[in-house]
Each structure stands twice: as C-alpha cells, then as structure tokens.
Amino acid sequence: METFMCTLCGVAVSSSFGEGWLKEFRVIYAQPPSWGDVKLSGVCSAGETGEYDIHGVGVIVARCPRDAGKRYDDQDLDPDSKIMVKLGPDAPKSFQNIAPSVSCCGFAFHAACWDLLAKIGHIDISVLFGVCFSMPIVDAGIIQWGHNYGGAARPQHFSTPSQPHGSRWAGFMPEELFSHIKSSLFRSDPMNIPDLHYLTRCAVRFEPPAYPWPSRQTARDVFYRLPVEILQAILPTLSSPDVASLRSASRVVACLDLPESFWASRFQDGYEYAHIFETSLQRPRSWKALYMFTRILERQSHALQNRARVWELGLKLKKLHDQVEGVSCQGLPLASKFEPDCIADDREWVVASDGLLENTSDNWYYLRGGCRGLRIREIQLPTPMEFSHLAVSFTVVDNRKFVSGLQFVTPGGEYESLGYIASFKQTITLPSTASMSGLHLALSKSGIKAIAVELDNRTLSPWAGEPKTYPRWRLSTPAGAYVKAEFDAMRLLSLGLEVKAEVPGKDRCFWKSDVPAPGILCDPPIDGGSFRRPDALSRPLLEAAIFRPATLVGVAAYLSDLNAVAGIEFMHTDSTHDSLLGQRMPLERRPYSPNLYPPHGEDHASSISVDGPGGERITEIRIEENMDGPLKIEVRI
C-alpha cells in the first residue's frame, strides 16, 4: 500500500487511517495512445496499490475495477476485470520498466469526493482528464492547482536557475496528518453527515416574531415606497451579508418578515449552503428552521466543515472545466502527444516558449515543472498581410489569465483561427496604414501571458493580456509564413514560425524586459540548430541597455562580494535616460539560492566618469570571464 493524494481534496488516499472512506477512490484514466477515450473506474481500495521506482521517480500503480458500477469488495467481482493504472500524468519513460499489464494512466479521487463533485454539476471526464494532465504534479501525486486545498497542503519552497523564489503545495503524509491541528476535519467523511439527514426531516416551522410596521416618520427611507411583495422578491437575490447590512441601514427592511422563499434561496447555487444538496432530495418542513439549525451544526460538525471545504474546491475545478468544455482547438492538427496519428512535422521552426517540456525530457521535470503540450496546430498567414485586428482569447486558471487562442481578422471580416477561441477576448486594432511585421510575447512557466503586435512602421501595439514583468520574445511574421502553436487542454504554451531564412539573434532568445526596438543593432550569440532547449526550465535571460553618447556622464559596475559583475549602469545628464543591465546596489539576496551572491564580504561598486557633452566617446567595452561568470569589466574611452 502506497500513499497518494486525492486530486480534488488534497488529502491522502490511504488505509492507514481508521476512517474507511479515506482508502476508497476512483480513477479517471486513458490508455495511450487513445487519449480521447477516457473512462471512469469502479471504486478501488488503497490496499491494492504498489510503487515502482522509474528513473528516480516513484510511480504508483493501482488495481481498479474496469466497470464504473463495481466496487473492489463486491462478491461477484471478477479478478480478471481489474485493470492496472499508473496514477499521475504519463511521463515519457514511465511505462518502459513497469510490467506490460500497466498500460493506462489516470488521476485518483476519493470515492466520496467524486460523488460530491458530481453533485455540483455535469462533468465531462475527457475534459477533466485533459485539465488534470495540464497541471504540474509533485510528490504523492498532488496537483498544483495554485491553491492550498483549503489548508490540506503546506507550502514547499524550492529554487532553480530560472525560479529562484519558487514555491508549490505539498500534501501531508498520513503520519503528518495525524498530528495536524485540523486532522479530524480533513479525515471526516464529507458525504456522510447523519445529523444533516435528521435536520432535513425534522426541522419544525418557526413562528416569526411580530414587528410593528414603520410609521410615516420613516417615509424618507426609500424602501418605504416599495410594496412588501417587491421587497420580498428582491431580498432572495442578495447575499446574506448584504441582506444583514441592508437590514441595519433600513428600518423598513429590518421590520420585513423574510419569507420561506428567502431562506430556501440560501441553499441554492451561489449561496452559503449550496453544498447541502440533501434539500433537493427531501424538502424540509421549514427552510428557516433548517437554515438556523445548519448554522449551529456547522460550528460543531467536522464532516460538514469538510464538505464545505471540498465543495469550494469542486466549484473551482468545475469553473475551470466549464471554460474548456465544448471549445475545440482550431487550426490544422499536427502529430502531438494527444493526437499522434495526425500529420508529422519535420520542418525547422523558431519557437517562443518558456516552460514547455519535450516528451523526451527527464521524468522529474516533466511531472513537476513547466507545462506539457498535448495538441499542436498550424495555420498559414495570408499574402499580403492585411489584418484589421487581432482577437486574443483567454482562459483563467486560479485567477491568472493566460492566452488560449488567436484570431487574425481581415478588413473584410474573414479570419484565421488558432487554438481555443473563447468568449473572453481582448482585441488589438491595427491601423489601416501599417501591416503586421511581428509578434511580441510575454512568457511564463505555465503559458503565454500576453501578446502585442509589431507594425512595419516600427511601432508596437498595446498589449493584450498581462505582460507585467514576464520575459519577452519577438517573432517576425513575414507574409505567407506558417505559424505553429502548442497547447495543453486550455492554454497556449508556445508559438513558432517556420524558418525559411536566417533568423536574427534577437529573435531567438528571451529578453528580461522589452525586446530591443527595430533598427537597433543587436545580435546576441545564441547557438543555432534546435531553437528549443531540451531543458526548458533553465535558459539564458538577456537584457539590452541603450545609452546616449552625447549626454553620457558615467558608467558604473556593481560587483558582488565574489567580484562577479552583477550589474552595469549607464548614467546621463538627464537621469531619466539612465539604463541598467542586471542589478544595482544593494544586490538582491535570494533565500533559496544561497550560492548566488553568498555573503562572504562586502558588495561594492566601481565607476568612471565620461564627458559625453564634451565629446568623449566609449570605443570599447571588454569583459573578462572566469569559470564562474564575469570577473572584470573594462571601459575604454
């Protein structure tokens, strides 16, 4: 028996607990390469799992009833009807060293959590499988949704060259959960609350107290002018905190008897007790009585508190599911992980992406970081490049907006679509006097965050999306060019152009801030060949600094205590023109990267004066390097 985490609630699936519901789970699974054929298993037991060490990664395999209507403890269950499922996404090397009978991979849910998720609404398991596959996963199979599972996961800090301040959520192992302050809450069955069943059957009707209706002295209260029936129709549409505030502010509303329809609305979708689904099975005698007794019960019942926690997590997952459901991926399909039988592509591309990992990547990175491409699409830009606007679609994951698709629209209303075209769009309008010459992308580890259009008059459009301080990449877009994009189940992960001529160095790399403007000579020494690095979690991040020779008054180098150059600054007569490469004093200390600028001594700065207004000019900047990086910078005038 091995421990792994529930995809929905984040609590361990284990038979180490006394609570039986914690050992029972279901799996949504697929058998590669038939990724579109996703199935739901029957109820499995944590006692029928095992762990295999594959290339340094613990791979957990479960024996599950193939029939969704079966349970592991059914007397008539045929042992041959069970299947072996590897839990978690399919890392490229996972199946190579496991027994041949393990041909499926999937994601586990407590059986109780799955039943609760089904109460929230319809779930397309194929969509849910793709959404789960698109998210990073760490030890014990806990998916990184971006939240802490309502307290059931703890923060875990890490550092990589590209993420010096990284953090993720890790689940509690059974031995840790026993000592957790909320242990009894997390271990309480959210589907089995006997007191709640009793309340829905036995709650008696409350006789409301008689409040005298306000006199005409309160006529200045605007609600005095409304009929009681209209007031009683308005209040059920408001949240309970808003109703309480309104009753405090208006004597008329305070004296109004809240009807049963108001109390019944508190148990509907969007209100505080929507998770009390028992009311849809049995109507209570009094909605008000049930509301009042439920308020008392929720303070005492850990099971009800846990149901509220899991329900809220289910609402977040359902919201993500609903964004994806029914939205197809537009463009010509190319061979990819989820669609291996499509047209194979062997052309050379320059690809802009930050965290996208190859199928040949190391298992550890493939499972735990970056993002995984599932589908590839291609379109060809028209000749001539006449677009009236670019419509950028977005999807929202954990309150963060990501680009999901693009529509290139011509003045005549025709368009080329690429990716997931959603109703949530932002439009970049292009002037009729200029044509598109390139795209600027803001890249994150989880997908493309924003896009701007570069015009042939050397101007840049406003950004669509959230560029913030994310690294940038420029792609030139000549007329007739082929555009290739890679997606997970909901986000645009990479965008590439077919290479037909030599690509400038500045179009083959990441820039820490804005890409150098057109017309500025800039050709960084980036290796040719494959433009996507096999380890997408570690890559150079370039900067460009522009200085004005005629107004330059000084150059400063900022050195760490190891005499490594951490930053260079060009200073001008007008300080608003100053430009910086790297860091200025004091140098940033990175708590999870102790080897970067370790405090062995004092940081210091060195500078020289330049009389730019008087005619002095920089003729050469020379940097000496050692194995650990830049050691010395020399400026000649």
pLDDT digits (tens, 9 = 90+) for 298-308: 999 999 999 99
3-class SS of residue 242: helix
Instruction: Check pLDDT > 60 for residue 576.
Output: yes
Within a 10 A sphere around the Cβ of 475, how many other Cβ atoms?
A: 22
CA distance 397 to 134: 11
3-class SS of residue 139: helix
CA distance 583 to 581: 7
Retrieve residue 576's tokens.
């608003």
The pLDDT mean for the chain works out to 80
Which one of 2.60.120.200, 2.100.10.30, 3.50.50.60, 2.30.29.30 gives the CATH number of domain 329-538? 2.100.10.30
Q: What confidence score (pLDDT) does residue 529 get? A: 38
Contact 598, 581 (CB under 8 A): no
CA distance 616 to 599: 37
Q: What confidence score (pLDDT) does residue 588 get? A: 54
Contact 436, 385 (CB under 8 A): yes
Contact 597, 587 (CB under 8 A): yes
Contact 37, 130 (CB under 8 A): no
pLDDT digits (tens, 9 = 90+) for 66-116: 999 999 989 898 888 888 888 876 554 444 455 556 778 899 999 999 999
* Residue 274 backbone phi and psi in degrees, to 5: -65, -25
CA distance 183 to 177: 6
In Å, how far from its chain's centre is CA 470? 15
- Terminal alpha carbon distance of the chain: 71
CA distance 583 to 566: 6
Contact 53, 64 (CB under 8 A): no
Geometric angle at alpha carbon 437, from 436 and 441, rounded to 5°: 90
3-class SS of residue 442: strand
Band (198; pLDDT cuts 50, 70, 90): confident
Q: What confidence score (pLDDT) does residue 108 get? A: 93
Retrieve residue 343's tokens.
């047209």
Within a 10 A sphere around the Cβ of 344, how many other Cβ atoms?
A: 8
pLDDT digits (tens, 9 = 90+) for 469-519: 888 998 888 878 899 999 999 999 999 988 877 777 777 777 877 777 666
From residue 240, how far is each of 222, 266, 289, 523 by CA, in Å? Answer: 21, 8, 16, 61
Instruction: Please count the residues of the chain.
Output: 637
At 2, the amino acid letter reads E
Please report, to the nearest 10 degrees, the dihedral formed by the alpha carbons of residues 500, 506, 509, 515 taken in order.
-130
CA distance 534 to 531: 9
List the domain boundaries for the chain: 4-180, 194-307, 329-538, 549-636
3-class SS of residue 56: coil
Q: Answer with the residue of higher pLDDT: 186 or 142.
A: 186
Q: Which of 255, 265, 210, 274 is nearest to 234 (CA)?
A: 265
Q: Calculate what percentage of the chain has a pLDDT beyond 70.
A: 75
3-class SS of residue 392: strand
At 566, the amino acid letter reads A
DSSP per residue, 534-569: S-TTS--EE------GGGEEEEEEEE-TTS-EEEEE
Q: Computed from CA positions of residues 243, 246, 248, 254, in that sequence, does the dihedral angle turn out positive or negative?
A: negative
Please report, to the nearest 10 degrees, the dihedral formed by the alpha carbons of residues 284, 286, 292, 293 taken in order.
-40
Q: What confidence score (pLDDT) does residue 101 get? A: 62
Tokens 């189940």, located at residue: 489
pLDDT digits (tens, 9 = 90+) for 583-621: 776 655 444 334 444 444 456 777 888 888 888 888 877
Contact 631, 563 (CB under 8 A): yes
Q: What confidence score (pLDDT) does residue 85 get? A: 87
Instruction: Check pLDDT > 50 for residue 1.
Output: no
Q: Which of 105, 176, 140 is nearest to 1 (CA)?
A: 140
Q: Computed from CA positions of residues 554, 559, 565, 567, in that sequence, does the dihedral angle turn out positive or negative?
A: negative
